Amino acid sequence: MSPLQLIFILVSAITLGAALMVVTTRNMVRAALWLVLTLFGVAILFVLLEAGFFAVAQVIIYIGAIAILMIFAIMLTRRIAHDPGPQINTTWPIAAVIALVVFGLIVFFVQGWEKTVSQPAPFPPGFDPLRELGVALVSANQYLIPFEIASILLLAALIGAIVIAWDKK
């Protein structure tokens, strides 16, 4: 087994384990920290996929902003002298069954698909995916318009979040 395969198996096992802890642990701040570990594992997988920019973007956006925002929200919405109670719905067996059925269906279809290549083709020399991504995002005949619309979406979310959370005293 090549080192890359070993690294993949190790990292995906840790990531899936941490994801399971996110959805089952009772203490919310612990769940947020397990989420950070999951997001970091996914960032390592992005490095294995030779998408280095996405690995660092994942760490900056998800761990550096979203996870910290979640930790702040958990700390601000905690009632100190409050019994947390059961953190899981009473209908959780049905949820587990649904999740397992969806997983089984996806695995069945992936195994039966004839295009699952076992090795990615190497990049042609001089092909820089970072540079190509940059060119694609600002070229008028490629993906400029979705890029601009995403900026407007972020601006709307920024204004919306401030307005919603404004404390009108």
Partner 1 sequence: MADPVTFIGQWLESIFAGWGLSSAWISVIMAALGVLVLSGSVLLVDILLVWVERKVVARFQDRLGPNRLGPFGLFQPIADVIKLLLKEDITPQGADKFVYNLAPILALATVIILWAVIPISVTVVGSTINVGALYIVAVGAIGTLAIIMAGWASNNKYALLGAFRMVAQMISYEVPMVIAILIPVILAKSMSLADIVASQSVWYIVLAPIAAVVFLIGAQAELGRAPFDLSEAESEIVAGFHIEYTGMKFGLFYAGELLHALTFGGLFATFFLGGWRGWGAETYPILGIGYFFIKAMFMYWVIMWIKYSFPRVRIDQMLNFCWKFLTPLILTVLSITAILDKLMSGVPYWIYVLVMLFSNLVILYFVYQAVGRYARKERQKVADPEKVQVNFRVRSSTPSQAS
Partner 2 sequence: MIPLSWYLIFAAALFCIGLFGVLSRKNAVAILMGVELMLNAVNVNLLAFWRYLTFENMAGQVFAVIVFAVAASEVAVGLALVISVYRRRQSIVADDINLLKY
User: Residue 52 and residue 119: Cα distance in Å, rounded?
Assistant: 18
| C-beta of residue 40 within 8 angstroms of C-beta of residue 28 | no
Judged by CB under 8 A, the chain residues 100 through 129 that form the site for partner 2 are 100, 102-103, 106-107, 110-111, 113, 115-121, 123, 127, 129
Is position 31 an interface residue for partner 2 (rule: CB under 8 A)?
yes
| C-beta of residue 145 within 8 angstroms of C-beta of residue 139 | no
Q: How far is the CB of 124 from partner 1 (least distance, A)?
A: 16
Is position 141 an interface residue for partner 2 (rule: CB under 8 A)?
no
Is position 144 an interface residue for partner 1 (rule: CB under 8 A)?
no
Q: How far is the CB of 134 from partner 1 (least distance, A)?
A: 10
User: Residue 39 and residue 44: Cα distance in Å, rounded?
Assistant: 9
- Answer for which of 10, 52, 56, 99 binds partner 2 (CB under 8 A) is 99
The one-character DSSP state at 119 is: S
Q: How far is the CB of 152 from partner 2 (least distance, A)?
A: 10
User: Residue 61 and residue 43: Cα distance in Å, rounded?
Assistant: 11
Residue 94 backbone dihedrals phi, psi, to 5 degrees: -65, -40
- Answer for which of 9, 13, 16, 60 binds partner 1 (CB under 8 A) is 60
Judged by CB under 8 A, the chain residues 100 through 129 that form the site for partner 1 are 128
- Answer for which of 68, 101, 136, 149 binds partner 1 (CB under 8 A) is 68
Residues 6+ apart with CB under 8 A from 36: 63, 67
